[in-house]
């Protein structure tokens, strides 16, 4: 495979970024695989029976769902950053098209929005 053309004003090592993102993605997918396991037998216990006993379990499950959901969001973001790497648009904001500050990419390589747009998205 041909080496990607390098330019002096692009000191960010994109190959290293890609390795990092792929490693994170693999790790997230492993964790998500744990969350999406089908419920095991006995999983129905505690729901709609005795309110007192079921509540704590139900709450802890909701927390698990929340964690799983945030893992999914991270996974989507990293997958998007990898797509941009492949497309050659890595470091360009998805929303406004400006370049994302290099310091931001170094701190959070999965960033697909510039700091201004990320702020607006919250
Ligand atoms: Zn932007």
Output the pTM of the full model. 0.68
Average pLDDT, the chain: 82
The conformation of residue 3, written as its DSSP 8-state character, comes to P
Residue 97 CA, ligand 1 centroid: distance in Å: 6
Residues 6+ apart with CB under 8 A from 56: none
Summarised one tens digit per residue, pLDDT across range 7-62 is 445 578 999 999 999 999 999 999 988 876 666 665 555 555 555 566 666 767 77
Name the H helices within the chain: 14-35, 51-87, 102-107, 115-121
3-state secondary structure of 90: coil
Residues 6+ apart with CB under 8 A from 90: 14, 17, 81, 84
Band (117; pLDDT cuts 50, 70, 90): very high
Residues with CB under 5 A from ligand 1 (ion): 93, 95-96, 114, 117
Give residue 102's pLDDT.
94
Residue 49 CA, ligand 1 centroid: distance in Å: 50
């Amino acid at each position: 495979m041909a080496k990607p053309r390098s330019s002096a004003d692009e000191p960010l090592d994109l190959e290293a970024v890609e390795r990092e993102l792929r490693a994170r993605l693999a790790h997230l997918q492993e964790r998500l695989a744990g969350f999406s396991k089908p419920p095991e037998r006995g999983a129905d216990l505690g729901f709609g029976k005795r309110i007192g006993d079921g509540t704590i379990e139900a709450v802890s499950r909701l927390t698990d769902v929340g964690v799983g959901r945030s893992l999914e969001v991270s996974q989507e973001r990293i997958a998007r950053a990898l797509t941009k790497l492949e497309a050659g648009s890595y470091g360009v904001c998805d929303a406004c098209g400006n370049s994302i500050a290099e310091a931001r990419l170094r701190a959070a390589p999965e960033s697909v929005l510039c700091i201004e747009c990320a702020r607006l998205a919250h």
